[in-house]
Amino acid sequence: MHSTLRLQYPVRQLKTLSAFLLLLLFLSGCAGQYLSKGDKRFGEEQYERAIEFYKQALPKAGNAGLVNYKIAEAYRLSNRLAEASPFYKAALDANFRKEDTYYYYGMALKANGQYEEALRQLKDYARIGTSTRLKALAVREVENLSTLSTILQKSSPYSVQSLEALNTEASEFAPYVLENELVFSSTRGPGKEYMGNGEGFLNLYATTLTDSAAEMGGAVRAYEGINKENIHDALATFTNEGRTMIFARGNEGTKKGRQNVDLFLSNLRSGTWTEPQKLSISDRDAWDSSPAFSPDGKTLYFSSNRKGGLGGNDIYKTTLDDNGRFSRPENLGPDINTPGNESFVSVGPDGTLYIASDGLPGLGNLDLFQVEDGKPVNMGPPINSPGDDFGIYIGKGNMGFFSSNRSGGKGGDDLYRFVKSARKQVNFFVDGTLYQLRDGARQRATVPNSAVVLQSERGEVLRTATTNANGQFTFALDSATAYALVAEKSGFFTARQQITTVGKMPTQEELTAEQNEVRLTATLVLNEIVKEKAIVLDNIFYDFDKADIRPDAALELDKLVQVLKDNPGISIELSSHTDARGTDAYNQDLSQRRAESAVEYIISQGIDRDRITARGYGESRLVVKNATTDEAHQRNRRTEFKVVRIQE
C-alpha cells in the first residue's frame, strides 16, 4: 500500500467450423474481453482490478506469456514485487521475451529471499541485456548481492516485536511518536476501495503509546480535519511542539494519480487543525512524499522523483526561514541517492538521518539505512528482511518503531517495535595471506591481486575478496559459523582452509567496549602441480592383512576427494604400498586390493571413475627398510597419489 505515497488474436479462415471450435472461439472471445478490461484498468493504475481481469483471461488466453507478464507488472507497480515472482517465471516459461521481464524476475526473486536464484538471474541478464538503464541496474544489483553475507552476518543490537494488537489485515506504516501518542498511516478506515491495490484509502491515525508492544492497539482515533474522503493522507511529521504538521496527500483518482502526490501543511489552532495547504516546494509533475523535520524544525527532508534527480526517488532537503518560507529543495547527492529509489526519510533525536532504499546493498526491495559519516549503512537483520522495511522512527533512549511487509505479518504492511540491546556486540573477522610455493623452492611467495572466496560449510559462495599487494585479504564472519577459504591459480593445486567462529565468542565480562572485534588469522598456500610426483596421504592406514577402509582412513580420503573436486582438470594415480611381511606375490595382490578399495571409496563420493587409477606396488617401495616395530610397518603400509594428467 505504501507504494502510492512513496512510490488481439489471429483469426484463421476456416471452411467448416465444428461446435467444438465454436466453443473455443466463444471462450477466446471471453478471454479477449477480460484482457481488454484488464488493459483499461491497468492504464488507469487500478492494478488490483486489472489483476482480477487478467487472471480471468489467463486460462483461455492464447498468449499466456503476455498475460502472466501483465499480472506480474500489476503486482510490481502496486508495490507487491514478491507476489509478482511466479507470474514473471510463467511468462518466461511461455517464451515471452520482453526484456524487462528478465530483470524484474530477478528482483522479485530477491524480494522473496531467494538470493542465489536472484543472483543467477541478474547475472544472466547483465550479460545479455540490451537496455542501457536496466542493464546498469542489474550490474549494480549483482554487486549489491555480493555483499549480502556481510549484511546477514552483521551483529545486531536490536530485538524486534510486532505491534500485534494494533496491526490489522489492512496496512499500517510510517510511525511517528508525538508526546504520548503513536501516529501512523493506515488503510483500515471505512470508505471506498482504492483500485491500485484493493485496500482502502490511506488516513492518519493515532493511539496511546504504552510501554508494552503487546498492549498497543487500544483506542485508535482518526485525524479529523486532515483525513479527506477518497484521498490518501499519510506520512505525517511534526514540528513547533506538535502544532505544525506536514504530510503527504494524493491520488484523487485521476489517470496519473500515482504522480499526483504532494506535501501539505496544517497548523493546530484552538485544538483544531487548519485546512491543509499545499507546500510551494511541491512539484506538480512529480511524486513528493515522506517528509521529516530535523529536531530543531529548521530543515525538512522529503523524497521526490522530480526531474534532475539521480534515480527514481531521491532524498531532498529544504530549510525554513524565520518567515516560514522554504528554500529551494536541494538533492542530497550521490553519497545518499542512487539510480534506484530512496524514500521514507526520518531523523533521529541526535540529527542522524535514516532512509529506506532499494538501490543500496540490502536484503529485500526496501531496506533501512542509517547515515554514518555521510554514507548510508545497512542496519542489518532483524530490522531488515527480504521484504520491504521502511518508515523508521527513532525514539529517545533505546526504543523505536518501523514498518515492514515481511513474511509472517498481519496485513499488507505492519508496524514493529524495536529495542536496542544493552549487550556488548562482537564482530568477527578473518585476516589471511595467500602464498604460492613452486616445486623445489625454499620459500613461498605472496600472491597479490588474486581472488579468495569465502564459502559456507555447504560450499555456497558467500563473498569474494581480492588480495592486496602483499597477498592479504579480510572477510567479516558471523558468530558460531564454519567456513572455508578457497583460492585458485592455474598450474597450482587449489588452496583451501577451514575457518570457524564456533566456540570463539568471548563472555560479556571479557569485552571491554560496546563494539568489539575478534580477528582470526588464516594462511592459504597454492602448491605447484608437478606431474608424476608422488604425494603421501598421511594417516591412510590399513589393518594387518586387510584392504578395508578404516574410519580414520575415510576421513583422510575425504581430503583427497576435496582436492579432486577443487581441481577438476587433474587425473591421478592412487597407489598403495604394503610392509615387507608376507611373500612378494601376496603383498602385490594385497596392495592392489587396498588401492582399488580406496579408489572405490573416492568414486562413491562423486568423483568420475575416469579421473583416477588404482595401482598396487606391494613391498617394492618401502620407506622404512628392515622395519621391526608395528609403527614402522604402518608407515610402509601407506597410500600415495600423483597427478598423471592435467586438462587445461
CA 54-6-389 angle, to 5 degrees, is 95
- Between β-strands 612-616 and 570-576, what pairing exists: parallel, antiparallel or unpaired? parallel
Compute, in degrees rounded to 10, the torsion defined by CA atoms 469, 470, 476, 479: 170
pLDDT digits (tens, 9 = 90+) for 226-249: 998 888 999 999 999 999 999 999
Q: What is the spatial distance between Cα 128 and Cα 102, in angstroms, rounded to a whole number? A: 10
Under DSSP, the state recorded for 70 is H
Q: What is the spatial distance between Cα 267 and Cα 277, in angstroms, rounded to a whole number? A: 10
Give the pLDDT score at 24: 46
Give the pLDDT score at 29: 52
pTM above 0.75, yes or no: no
- Beta bridge pairs of residue 498: 484
Mean pLDDT of the chain: 87
2-152 has which fold?
Answer: 1.25.40
Higher pLDDT, 181 or 311: 181
Ranges in the chain annotated CATH 2.120.10.30: 158-420
Return the CATH architecture of domain 425-527.
Sandwich (2.60)
Please check the confidence at residue 255 and state whether its pLDDT lies above 50. Answer: no
Q: What is the spatial distance between Cα 117 and Cα 124, in angstroms, rounded to a whole number? A: 11
158-420 has which fold?
Answer: Neuraminidase (2.120.10)
Give the pLDDT score at 80: 87
pLDDT digits (tens, 9 = 90+) for 576-595: 988 888 888 998 998 999 99
- Asked if 385 and 407 touch (Cβ cutoff 8 Å), the reply is yes
The 3-class SS string of 616-636 reads ECCCCCCCCCCCCCHHHHHHH
- Asked if 587 and 619 touch (Cβ cutoff 8 Å), the reply is yes
What angle do the packed helices 19-43 and 64-77 form, to 10 degrees?
Answer: 20
Which helix (H) or strand (E) is 642 found in, with range? strand 639-646
User: Which range, 18-22, 163-167, 214-218, 471-475, has the best average confidence (pLDDT)?
Assistant: 471-475
Give the pLDDT score at 20: 42
Contacts of 316 (CB under 8 A, 6+ apart): 301, 302, 303, 304, 306, 329, 330, 331, 332
Q: What is the spatial distance between Cα 419 and Cα 425, in angstroms, rounded to a whole number? A: 15
- Asked if 266 and 252 touch (Cβ cutoff 8 Å), the reply is no
Q: What is the spatial distance between Cα 14 and Cα 24, in angstroms, rounded to a whole number? A: 14
What angle do the packed helices 132-145 and 99-111 form, to 10 degrees?
Answer: 30
In the three-class reduction of DSSP (H, G, I as helix; E, B as strand; rest coil), residue 228 is classed as coil
Give the CA distances from residue 161 to residues 188, 267, 383, 415, in Å, rounded to whole numbers and listed in that order: 21, 33, 10, 9
Residue with cell 518508515: 391
C-alpha cell at 183: 501516529
Ranges in the chain annotated CATH 1.25.40.10: 2-152
Return the CATH architecture of domain 535-646.
2-Layer Sandwich (3.30)
Give the pLDDT score at 251: 65
pLDDT digits (tens, 9 = 90+) for 75-110: 999 888 989 999 999 999 999 989 999 999 999 998
Ranges in the chain annotated CATH 2.60.40.10: 425-527
Give the pLDDT score at 100: 93
Report H helices in 129-248.
132-145, 148-152
pLDDT digits (tens, 9 = 90+) for 312-371: 899 999 998 888 899 999 999 999 999 889 999 999 999 999 999 998 998 888 999 999
C-alpha cell at 372: 554514518
Is the peptide bond preceding residue 339 cis, with omega within 30 degrees of 0? Answer: no
Q: Which of 21-30, 363-372, 460-469 has the lowest mean pLDDT?
A: 21-30
Ranges in the chain annotated CATH 3.30.1330.60: 535-646
C-alpha cell at 326: 522554504
pLDDT digits (tens, 9 = 90+) for 503-554: 898 888 888 887 889 999 999 999 999 999 988 887 787 676 778 888 888 8
Q: What is the spatial distance between Cα 92 and Cα 626, in angstroms, rounded to a whole number? A: 71
